[in-house]
């Protein structure tokens, strides 16, 4: 079910401000692709263009082509809601729905779209929570509110919620930046497990994390403050971290700037 994504000449704007420019890349299916780069270089913005979440912000728009297996995601007759159903997203800060229980949080994406029988829902919720390595911790309190969990558990709950709708691709925007090292490890293990089923794109500020979990790494940078961010280099993670071709990439990963 995982699919490959082809990006050609993508620019993204906030009003008249161009945030990213001329991005070309191929995101492999059943692999983890990491985006690294200094703050403000547009990696999160680019991530959000991939499932049409960018245009949710008033005044924001995208130019260029993004295709998922021959289907143009920005085609004029494409429903953005269905794009987001196919390409799920996990955010930087865990954001379970506060009015819903753990069970309802996981079932939210399903319930809000279609009708499912109770037993179908039960199975999907259990599978998703198991998929997010959270089942054993919450199986006795599925009816308690999701906001009562710890930060790391909440983030795994959000991952369970995202995979419950069975997307093709999972986008993760710095999913571990608000978490302690143990929860981070749990999520990284989870990412390695999930990549057998999903195409995963992860934005991270933690280069060890990129090196640990990703198969390919893309380095973004911007020429100066106020300039649009650009893709500098993308390659196998081992290659990026050992022998990058660009000077800027090397400077960034060796900590000489950024």
Partner 1 sequence: MSAVTPEIQRISGMRRFKDKGVQALVYLAFAIAVVPLVSVLWLVISNGLARFDMEFLTHSMRNIGARDAGGGAYHAIIGTLEQVALASLISVPIGLLTAVYLVEYGTNGRLKRSISFFVDIMTGVPSVVAGLFILAFWILILGMPFSGWAGAMALSILMLPTVVRSAEEMLMLVPNDLREASYALGVSKWRTIVKVVLPTAFTGIVTGVMLAIARVAGETAPLLLTVFFTDSINEDPFNGPQMGLPLYVFDQAARPNDTAIDRAWAGALTLIVIIMLLNLAARLITYWRSPARKR
Given 16, 112, 115, 118, the residue binding partner 1 (CB under 8 A): 112
Q: Which is nearer to partner 1, 162 or 211 (CB)?
A: 162
Helical (H) or strand (E) element with 116: none
CA angle 101, 102, 103 (to 5 degrees): 90
Minimum CB distance to partner 1 smaller for 82 or for 238? 82
Q: Does 53 bind partner 1 (CB under 8 A)?
A: yes
How many residues touch partner 1 (CB under 8 A)?
34
State yes or no: residue 88 binds partner 1 (CB under 8 A): yes
Sign of the torsion angle spanned by Cα atoms 137, 140, 143, 147: negative
Is 42:20 a contact under the CB 8 Å cutoff?
A: yes
CB-wise, 146 or 229, nearer to partner 1? 146
**CA 147 vs CA 108, 144, 166: distances in Å:** 15, 9, 23
Residue 151 phi/psi, 5-degree rounding, is -55, -45
By CB under 8 A, name the one of 108, 178, 185, 248 that touches partner 1.
108
Instruction: Say if CB 224 and CB 40 are below 8 A apart.
Output: no
User: Which residue lies nearer to partner 1 by CB, 88 or 244?
Assistant: 88
What's the rounded Cα separation, in Å, for the pair 27 and 169?
A: 10
Q: Does 246 bind partner 1 (CB under 8 A)?
A: no
Does 99 bind partner 1 (CB under 8 A)? Our answer is: yes
Considering the rule CB under 8 A, would residue 140 count as an interface residue with partner 1? no
* Helix residue ranges per DSSP H, 74-222: 80-86, 102-111, 118-131, 135-138, 151-164, 181-194, 207-213
Q: Which of residues 22-41 bind partner 1 (CB under 8 A)?
A: none
Span near partner 1 by CB under 8 A; candidates 38-46, 88-96, 123-131, 174-182: 88-96
Distances (CA, A) of 11 to 70, 135, 173: 20, 40, 19
Given candidates 76, 77, 98, 136, which one binds partner 1 under the rule CB under 8 A? 98
Does residue 127 touch partner 1 according to CB under 8 A?
Answer: no
Q: Quick one: tokens of 238?
A: 């081992």
The correct pick among 97, 122, 178, 197 for binding partner 1 (CB under 8 A) is 97
Pairing of strands 216-222, 32-36: parallel
Q: Which 3 state secondary structure label does DSSP give 253?
A: helix
Beta bridge partners of residue 67, listed in sequence order:
6, 72
Which residue, 74 or 91, has its beta carbon nearer to partner 1?
91
Kindly state the DSSP code that residue 228 receives in the 8-state scheme: P
**46/252 with CB nearer partner 1:** 46
Q: Show the binding pattern over residues 175-214: x = contacts partner 1 (CB under 8 A), - = does not.
A: ----------------------------------------
Positions that interact with partner 1 (CB under 8 A): 51, 53, 56, 58, 81-86, 88-89, 91, 93, 95-101, 108-109, 112-113, 143-145, 147-148, 158, 161-162, 165
């Amino acid at each position: 079910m995982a699919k490959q994504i082809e990006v050609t000449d993508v620019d993204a704007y906030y009003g008249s401000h161009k945030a990213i420019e001329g991005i070309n890349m191929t995101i492999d299916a059943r692999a983890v692709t990491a985006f690294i780069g200094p703050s403000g270089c547009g990696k999160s913005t680019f991530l959000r263009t991939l499932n049409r979440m960018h245009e949710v912000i008033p005044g924001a728009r995208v130019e260029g082509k993004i295709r998922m297996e021959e289907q143009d995601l920005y085609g004029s007759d494409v429903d953005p809601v269905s794009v987001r159903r196919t390409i799920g997203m996990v955010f930087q800060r865990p954001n379970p729905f506060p009015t819903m229980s753990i069970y309802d949080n996981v079932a939210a994406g399903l319930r809000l779209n279609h009708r499912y029988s109770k037993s179908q829902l039960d199975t999907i919720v259990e599978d998703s929570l198991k998929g997010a390595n959270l089942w054993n911790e919450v199986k006795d309190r599925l009816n308690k509110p999701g906001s009562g969990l710890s930060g790391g558990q909440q983030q795994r709950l959000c991952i369970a919620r995202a995979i419950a709708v069975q997307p093709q691709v999972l986008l993760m925007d710095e999913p571990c930046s608000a978490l302690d090292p143990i929860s981070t490890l749990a999520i990284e293990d989870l990412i390695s497990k999930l990549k057998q089923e999903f195409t995963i794109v992860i934005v991270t500020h933690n280069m060890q994390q990129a090196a640990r979990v990703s198969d390919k790494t893309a380095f973004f940078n911007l020429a100066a403050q106020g300039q649009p961010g650009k893709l500098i280099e993308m390659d196998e993670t081992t290659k990026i971290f050992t022998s990058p071709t660009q000077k800027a990439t090397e400077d960034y990963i060796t900590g000489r700037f950024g």
